Chain A
Amino acid sequence: MTSSLQRPSHNFPLLKLPYLAMENVFSCMTHLELVDISLCSKKCKNLVKSGRKRPWTYMDIELNWIQLQIYLYDANDEDIVSVWDFSKRVVRNRKSVQWWKLNELEGYTKKQRGNERHYQCTTKQPLEISTATVISYFFELFPDCYVKNMTLQFMYNDSQCLLPVLAAVKTVENLKTHNYDRIDHIKNILPHVTITKAFQTNYNVCKNPLVLESLACTEIIYCDNARWLSPETFMTLNCKLVGLMKARLTVEDIMRYFKKWKNSTGDEMNRLQHMYIISEDIEIGQGVFNALKELGATAWDPVKRARYFKYPEGDFIDCQTGMDIERTDGLLASIMVPTKKKVSIIVWKDRFPEQHIRQ
Chain B
Amino acid sequence: MTSPASSSEVKYLIESSEGNTFDVSGAALRQSNTFNAMFLNIGADGPIPFTDYNEATLKKVFEYCEHSVNEENYSGPKHQDDLSKWDLNFFNEMDQKMFIDVINASNFLDIERLTSYCCERIARMLRGKNTQEMIKVITLPTAEELEAKQKVEEKKAAAAKKVAEKAAETAEKTETLEELPVQQLVQTTRNKLTRKYLSFSNE
Contacts and interface: CB of A to CB of B under 8 A. Distances in A.
Contacts of B95: 1, 3-4
A1 to B, nearest CB: 6
A11 B135 CA distance: 9
A289 B92 CA distance: 81
A125 interface: no
A13 B90 CA distance: 21
A17 B100 contact: yes
Interface residues of B, number: 39
Contact of B122 (A1, A25, A39): A25
B29 interface: no
B96 A12 contact: yes
Contact of B123 (A33, A40, A112): A33
A247 to B, nearest CB: 51
Contact of A3 (B92, B133, B137): B92
B83 interface: no
A41 B133 contact: no
Interface in B54-110: 77, 91-96, 99-100, 103-104, 107-108
Interface in A1-37: 1-6, 10-18, 20-21, 24-29, 33, 36-37
Given A3-B91, A6-B92, A16-B100, A112 B136 contact: no
Interface SS of B by simple majority: helix
Give the interface centre of A41, A109, A112 by most chain B CB atoms within 10 Å.
A41
Chain A: interface residue count, which band?
Answer: 35 or more
Given A21-B107, A36-B131, A109-B131, A12 B119 contact: no
Contact of A12 (B94, B108, B125): B125
Give the interface centre of A6, A14, A99 by most chain B CB atoms within 10 Å.
A14
Given A3-B93, A3-B94, A20 B134 contact: no
A98 B92 contact: no
Interface in A70-101: 98-101
Interface of B: 77, 91-96, 99-100, 103-104, 107-108, 115-116, 118-140, 143
